[in-house]
Chain A
Amino acid sequence: MKAERLQQIDGIFQTAIELPPERRREFLDTACANDPDLRSEVESLISSFELSGDFIEGSAADVAASLLASETLRGKQVAQFQIGNPLGRGGMGEVYAATDRMGRQVALKVLAPWLVQDRQHVTRFLQEARAVLALNHPNIVTVYDIGEADGVYYIASELIEGETLRAVLSRGRPALAQSVDIAIQVSTALVAAHDKGVVHRDIKPENVMLRGDGYVKVLDFGIAKLTEQFGGAERSGATAAASLETVAGLIVGTTPYMSPEQARGTPVDARTDVWSCGVLLYEMIASQIPFTGDSTTDVLARILEREPAPLASLVEGTPEELQRIVTRALKKDPGERYPTMADMLADLKALRQDLEFGEKIRRIQSTGELARAPGPRLGGRKIVVSIAGIGVLALAVAYFATPWFRSPNIQSVAILPFVNATGDPELEYLSDGVTESLINALGQLPDMSVKARSMVFRYKGKEVDPQEVASALSVDAVVNGRVERRGDRLMLSLDLAKGEDGDHLWGERYDSTMTDLVAVQSGMARDIAERLHTRLSGADEQRIAQSYTASGEAYQLYLRGRYHVQKVVLPEVQTGIQYLEQATALDPNYALAYVGLADAYRTASAADLTPSQVVPKAEAAAERAVQIDPDLSMAHTQLGILAIWYNFDPHAAERHFTRALELDPDNAEAHIFFAHLRSNQGRHDEAIREAERGLELEPFNSRFNALTGQFLVHAGRPDDAIARLQSTIDLDPNHVLARLFIATAYVEQRRYADAIAAAQVAVDRTRRRLTHPLGVLGYALAKSGNVAQARAVVDELVTASRSRYVSPYSVALVFNALGERDETLAWLERGFEVDDHKMNLLKVDPKWKNLHGDPRFEDLVKRIGF
Chain B
Amino acid sequence: MTVSPPLVTGLLQKWRDGDEAALGQLLPLVQDTLHRLAHRYVNRERRGHTLQTTALVNEAFLRLVGQQNVDWENRAHFFAVSAQVMRHILVDYARQRASGKRGGEYRHVTLDGDATVSDERSAELVALDDALEALAKVNPRGSKVVELRYFGGMNNKEAAEVLRISETTVERDWRLAKAWLYRELQAG
Chain A residues in contact with chain B, CB under 8 A? 1, 6, 9-10, 13-14, 17, 44-46, 48-49, 51-52, 55-56, 58-72, 74-76, 89, 91, 93, 112, 114, 231, 234, 236, 239, 242-243, 245-246, 249-251, 253, 295, 297
B33 touches A74 (CB 8 A): no
Between-chain CB contacts (< 8 Å), 20 pairs: A9-B176, A17-B175, A48-B183, A48-B186, A51-B182, A52-B178, A52-B179, A56-B181, A61-B51, A61-B86, A63-B94, A64-B90, A64-B94, A65-B45, A66-B47, A67-B94, A70-B118, A74-B109, A249-B40, A253-B44
B40 touches A251 (CB 8 A): yes
Nearest CB of chain B from residue A223's CB, rounded to whole Å: 15
Contacts of A56 in B (CB 8 A): 128, 146, 149-150, 178, 181
The complex places the Cα of A13 from the Cα of B45 at a distance, in Å, of: 38
Q: A1-B138, A56-B150, A61-B53 are in contact. Are A48 and B44 (CB under 8 A)?
A: no
A91 touches B42 (CB 8 A): no
B38 touches A61 (CB 8 A): yes
B121 within 8 A of A: yes
B40 touches A68 (CB 8 A): no
Other than the given A45-B179, A60-B125, A236-B2, 10 more pairs (CB < 8 A) read A52-B182, A60-B90, A66-B118, A68-B43, A74-B109, A89-B43, A91-B44, A114-B35, A246-B33, A246-B36
B111 within 8 A of A: yes
The complex places the Cα of A246 from the Cα of B1 at a distance, in Å, of: 11
Q: Across the two chains, which residue of chain A brings its CB closest to B48? A: A66
B178 touches A55 (CB 8 A): yes
B97 touches A67 (CB 8 A): yes
Contacts of B125 in A (CB 8 A): 60, 63-64
Nearest CB of chain A from residue B156's CB, rounded to whole Å: 12
B183 touches A44 (CB 8 A): yes
Nearest CB of chain B from residue A43's CB, rounded to whole Å: 11
The complex places the Cα of A67 from the Cα of B62 at a distance, in Å, of: 28
B46 touches A70 (CB 8 A): no
Quick one: CB contact mask for B92-125 with A, threshold 8 Å, 1 for yes?
A: 0110010000000000111100110110011011
Nearest CB of chain A from residue B131's CB, rounded to whole Å: 10
Say which residue of B4, B56, B86, B179 sits within 8 Å of A60 (CB atoms).
B86
Chain B residues in contact with chain A, CB under 8 A? 1-4, 33, 35-51, 53, 56, 62-63, 67, 86-87, 90-91, 93-94, 97, 108-111, 114-115, 117-118, 121-122, 124-125, 128, 138-139, 146, 149-151, 153, 172, 175-176, 178-183, 186
Q: A61-B153, A63-B125 are in contact. Are A48 and B180 (CB under 8 A)?
A: yes
The complex places the Cα of A297 from the Cα of B62 at a distance, in Å, of: 10
Q: A46-B179, A91-B43 are in contact. Are A62 and B2 (CB under 8 A)?
A: no
Q: Across the two chains, which residue of chain B brings its CB closest to A45? A: B179
Say which residue of A14, A46, A66 sits within 8 Å of B172 (CB atoms).
A14
The complex places the Cα of A72 from the Cα of B46 at a distance, in Å, of: 13
Nearest CB of chain B from residue A561's CB, rounded to whole Å: 50
Say which residue of B42, B109, B181, B186 sits within 8 Å of A68 (CB atoms).
B42
Q: A6-B138, A114-B39 are in contact. Are A63 and B62 (CB under 8 A)?
A: no
Nearest CB of chain B from residue A301's CB, rounded to whole Å: 12
A61 touches B90 (CB 8 A): yes
Nearest CB of chain A from residue B25's CB, rounded to whole Å: 18
Q: Across the two chains, which residue of chain B brings its CB closest to A14? A: B172
Nearest CB of chain B from residue A469's CB, rounded to whole Å: 35
Nearest CB of chain A from residue B83's CB, rounded to whole Å: 10
Contacts of B138 in A (CB 8 A): 1, 6
Q: Across the two chains, which residue of chain B brings its CB closest to A112? A: B43
A6 touches B180 (CB 8 A): no
Q: A61-B153, A63-B90, A65-B42 are in contact. Are A45 and B176 (CB under 8 A)?
A: yes
Q: A68-B43, A69-B46, A243-B1 are in contact. Are A75 and B179 (CB under 8 A)?
A: no
A13 touches B176 (CB 8 A): yes
Q: Which of A13, A45, A48, A49 has most chain B Cβ within 10 Å?
A: A48
The complex places the Cα of A748 from the Cα of B118 at a distance, in Å, of: 41
The complex places the Cα of A13 from the Cα of B179 at a distance, in Å, of: 10
A49 touches B51 (CB 8 A): no
Say which residue of A14, A66, A72 sits within 8 Å of B110 (CB atoms).
A72
The complex places the Cα of A114 from the Cα of B35 at a distance, in Å, of: 10
The complex places the Cα of A251 from the Cα of B50 at a distance, in Å, of: 19
Nearest CB of chain B from residue A702's CB, rounded to whole Å: 30
A60 touches B40 (CB 8 A): no
Q: Across the two chains, which residue of chain A brings its CB closest to B154? A: A59
Q: A49-B178, A69-B47 are in contact. Are A75 and B110 (CB under 8 A)?
A: yes
The complex places the Cα of A74 from the Cα of B151 at a distance, in Å, of: 30
The complex places the Cα of A843 from the Cα of B47 at a distance, in Å, of: 61
Nearest CB of chain A from residue B187's CB, rounded to whole Å: 9
The complex places the Cα of A245 from the Cα of B115 at a distance, in Å, of: 35
Contacts of B35 in A (CB 8 A): 114
A67 touches B39 (CB 8 A): no
Contacts of A250 in B (CB 8 A): 36-37, 39-40
A75 touches B109 (CB 8 A): yes
Nearest CB of chain B from residue A265's CB, rounded to whole Å: 13
Nearest CB of chain A from residue B53's CB, rounded to whole Å: 5
Contacts of A246 in B (CB 8 A): 33, 36-37, 63
The complex places the Cα of A44 from the Cα of B93 at a distance, in Å, of: 32
The complex places the Cα of A395 from the Cα of B86 at a distance, in Å, of: 67
Say which residue of B41, B121, B175, B180 sits within 8 Å of A63 (CB atoms).
B121
Contacts of A14 in B (CB 8 A): 172, 175-176
B115 touches A49 (CB 8 A): no
A59 touches B53 (CB 8 A): yes
Q: A6-B139, A45-B183, A76-B109 are in contact. Are A234 and B118 (CB under 8 A)?
A: no
B43 touches A234 (CB 8 A): no
A61 touches B175 (CB 8 A): no
Nearest CB of chain B from residue A79's CB, rounded to whole Å: 16
Q: Which of B4, B62, B182 has most chain A Cβ within 10 Å?
A: B182
The complex places the Cα of A48 from the Cα of B63 at a distance, in Å, of: 41
The complex places the Cα of A660 from the Cα of B163 at a distance, in Å, of: 89
Q: Across the two chains, which residue of chain B brings its CB closest to A6? A: B139
Nearest CB of chain A from residue B103's CB, rounded to whole Å: 13
B93 touches A74 (CB 8 A): no
The complex places the Cα of A69 from the Cα of B48 at a distance, in Å, of: 9
Nearest CB of chain A from residue B151's CB, rounded to whole Å: 5
Q: Across the two chains, which residue of chain B brings its CB closest to A113? A: B39
A74 touches B172 (CB 8 A): no
Q: A13-B179, A17-B175, A51-B182 are in contact. Are A60 and B150 (CB under 8 A)?
A: yes
A67 touches B122 (CB 8 A): yes
Q: A66-B121, A91-B44 are in contact. Are A48 and B90 (CB under 8 A)?
A: no
Q: Which of A58, A69, A93 has most chain B Cβ within 10 Å?
A: A69
Q: A48-B186, A55-B178, A67-B93 are in contact. Are A75 and B37 (CB under 8 A)?
A: no
Q: Across the two chains, which residue of chain B brings its CB closest to A237? A: B2
